[in-house]
């Protein structure tokens, strides 16, 4: 059975990184964008990283420009924005596609393991779903990720155990990470 550790990705400088390097750690894998309404998620993400990294926690950040052109900058510009504005220290990888024919195999795997269910209830969430559906129409059945800041929680064995849409309260994400670290 495949796990996250079977995948190789590129870091922001283009070097290949085998995710098996993170074996034994709890991971939160996130697709991000610097110009998104959810970009402030970087603050609670960095806070979690600082709080939990000594317990074997890593956040893997994958910028993506497939959602309303919200991450058009280069990998270096994105990295500078995140480190200067949000003080991020967690690993940031090369910008990727998460949907369509060129979707990174890691994100195809993550979304296959934990498919999209919903953005939740409420007017904002309904509006986001409508906008996301329009944006993702071009990807057809290969619209694996619905929007920026979708998060996947991975256990210490490399298994995908939860998916959090960007509309999920970050306190809920933090609680899930803390619970997984206690196992």
Contact criterion met (CB below 8 Å) for 9 and 19: yes
CA atoms within 13 A on the CB side of 116: 21
Q: Of 33, 36, 170, 176, which is the active-site residue?
A: 36
Is 82 among the catalytic positions? no
Contact criterion met (CB below 8 Å) for 165 and 116: yes
With the CA atoms of 132, 3, 7 and 63 taken in that order, what torsion angle do they form, in degrees rounded to the nearest 10? 30
CA atoms within 13 A on the CB side of 140: 4
**Catalytic residue annotation:** 36
């Amino acid at each position: 059975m495949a796990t996250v550790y079977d995948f190789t990705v590129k870091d922001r400088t283009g070097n290949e990184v085998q995710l098996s390097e993170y074996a034994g750690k709890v991971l939160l894998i996130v697709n991000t964008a610097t110009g998104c309404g959810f970009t402030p998620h970087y603050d609670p993400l960095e806070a979690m990283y600082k709080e939990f990294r000594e317990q074997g926690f890593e956040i893997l950040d994958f910028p993506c420009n497939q959602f309303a052109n919200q991450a058009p900058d280069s990998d270096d510009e994105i990295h500078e924005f995140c480190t200067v504005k949000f003080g991020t220290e967690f690993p940031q990888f090369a910008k990727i596609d998460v949907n369509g024919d060129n979707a990174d195999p890691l994100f195809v795997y993550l979304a296959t393991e934990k498919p999209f269910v919903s953005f939740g209830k409420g007017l904002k969430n309904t509006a986001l779903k409508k906008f996301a559906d329009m944006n993702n129409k071009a990807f057809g059945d290969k619209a694996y990720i619905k929007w920026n800041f979708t998060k996947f929680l991975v256990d210490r064995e490399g298994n995908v155990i939860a998916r959090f849409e960007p509309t999920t309260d970050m306190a809920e994400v933090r609680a899930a990470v803390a619970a997984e670290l206690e196992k």
